[in-house]
Amino acid sequence: MYHRSLDIRAQAAEGSTFLFGPRQTGKTTLLRQQLPDAIVYDLNESDVYRALVSRPEIVRQQTSEMRGATVIIDEIQKLPVLLNEVQVMIDSDRTKRFVLTGSSARSLRRGGVNLLGGRAATARLFPLISAETGPELLDRRIAYGSMPAVLDSSNPERDLQAYTGTYLDQEIRAEGFVRSIETFSRFLEVAAVSNGQILNFTKIASDCGVPARTVREHFQLLEDTLVGHQVPAYQNTLKRKPVAASKFYFFDVGVARDLARRSPPPRGSADWGLALEHLVGLELQAYLSYKRIRARLCFWRSRGQVEVDYVVGDEMGVEVKASANVTERHLSGLRALREDVTLKHCVVVSLERLPRRTDDEILILPVNMFFERLWNGEFHLTDSFRTSRVEPAA
């Protein structure tokens, strides 16, 4: 069992909270570990769901005398009407705390659903991170991703395939989010092949044989069901004009590979390097979320094709190189970006054996040492960042 880095107990102590995360990231397990005395309504349980569908006021009636209680409603998107009862309870008893979990924001956005009007904060649970798995699982995470059940499985390839099938059946087919599950399945494969690339809706639409409008809707569906996210282009450079379109990343390295119908990549291959770049980005995203730092995670590419893999706020540039020998050509992107932006940290995440620092203060770190320093807070990242303009993809 993993010790999770998200401290939902502390956040719940501050007030009611929405806890979002993709299926099987461990939301229910986390809550059982950190809030063992909470009152739980699990909407995955058929009898609980049936009772509350007909009488949502039962939650209010059963907890009305429990001052100071913590109440968990698991998979709240299955019954959004319960949010009306939750709002009444929060307003009538400020000592009570609610933790509302969900794997999809789409149902909660339908038809003007009550999202509690600022009465609840939001937290996000990600797949396992390096601080939870330890450095020894790096290659397994590159091959199969970081979902707890998959990472621990004796047959991770089978369980990855089962996960993507569950996503299609339970999130997409059951909720009626798309007209054609076959067309959406084809889109998933093309989107996964394009993972980490700049979004070009027109090209993806051509590959899928559907209108670009449909592709935009499908990408929004992936974001709504927490299966992927856009990383916007960093825009705060003047000397080199940046590209404007975003990149898209799936929430897990293994899920992206399985959807693209690729085998686990051998270390040293181009696909292994792309998976490492993806994994580093996911760790950065999780770090900012868990530490509640509002700095934006971006990438930067100039119109002249000079690129930095990740830019955190206006403070940190991160380049990922799956190489045991980082050379001068690997540093060109960070040096170009630094001509425009005063960065506190310029870091190359690599496969070099020992850390080193170049004469112009670029830090080159082994990947596991980068993860360790990141989660130890050694980069001292803050909330401050300038607003960047983000333009839609073609």
Give the model's confidence band at 116: pLDDT under 50 very low, under 70 low, under 90 confident, else very high: confident
pLDDT (tens digit per residue) in 266-287: 999 999 999 999 999 999 999 9
pLDDT band for position 175 (cuts 50, 70, 90): low
- Cβ atoms of 278 and 253 within 8 Å: the answer is yes
pLDDT band at residue 391 using 50, 70 and 90 as cut-offs: very low
pLDDT at residue 390, rounded to an integer: 42
Rounded to an integer, the average pLDDT of 34-44 is 96
Q: Where are the domains of the chain?
A: 8-124, 130-375
Q: How confident is the model at residue 209 (pLDDT cuts 50, 70, 90)?
A: very high
pLDDT at 180: 84
Rounded Cα distance, 281 and 318, in Å:
9
> Would the pLDDT of 121 be above 70?
yes
Quickly tell me which residue has 């792309």 as its tokens: 274
Q: What is the pTM of this model?
A: 0.92
Model confidence at 118, pLDDT cuts 50, 70, 90, reads: confident
Average pLDDT over every residue of 75-87: 91
Residue 1 has pLDDT above 90, yes or no: no
What is the predicted pLDDT for the residue at 117? 74
pLDDT at 394 over 80: no
Q: Over range 194-219, report the average pLDDT.
A: 95
Is CATH 3.40.50.720 correct for 8-124?
Answer: no
How many CB atoms are closer than 10 A to CB 22?
24
Flag whether pLDDT at 26 surpasses 80.
yes
- Over residues 60-71, the pLDDT tens digits come to 999 988 989 999
Calculate the average pLDDT of the chain.
91
Residue 254 has pLDDT above 70, yes or no: yes
Whether the pLDDT of residue 374 is over 50: the answer is yes
Residues 121 and 192 sit within 8 Å (Cβ to Cβ): no
Per-residue pLDDT, 387: 40
- For the stretch 327-344, pLDDT in tens is 999 999 999 999 999 999
Burial of 175 (0-12, 13-18, 19+ CB in 10 A): middle
Cα angle at 31 between 26 and 34, to 5 degrees? 120
pLDDT for the residue 225: 86
pLDDT score recorded for residue 386: 46
Q: Which two tokens stand for residue 223?
A: 């974001």
pLDDT (mean) for 359-378: 97
**Residue 165 or residue 45, greater confidence:** 45
Residue pLDDT, tens place only, 354-366: 999 999 999 999 9
User: In percent, how much of the chain has pLDDT > 70?
Assistant: 94
pLDDT at 178 over 90: no
Q: Average the pLDDT over 101-125 and give the result.
A: 76
**Predicted pLDDT at 109:** 65
User: Within a 10 A sphere around the Cβ of 392, how many other Cβ atoms?
Assistant: 10
Mean pLDDT value across residues 112-137: 87
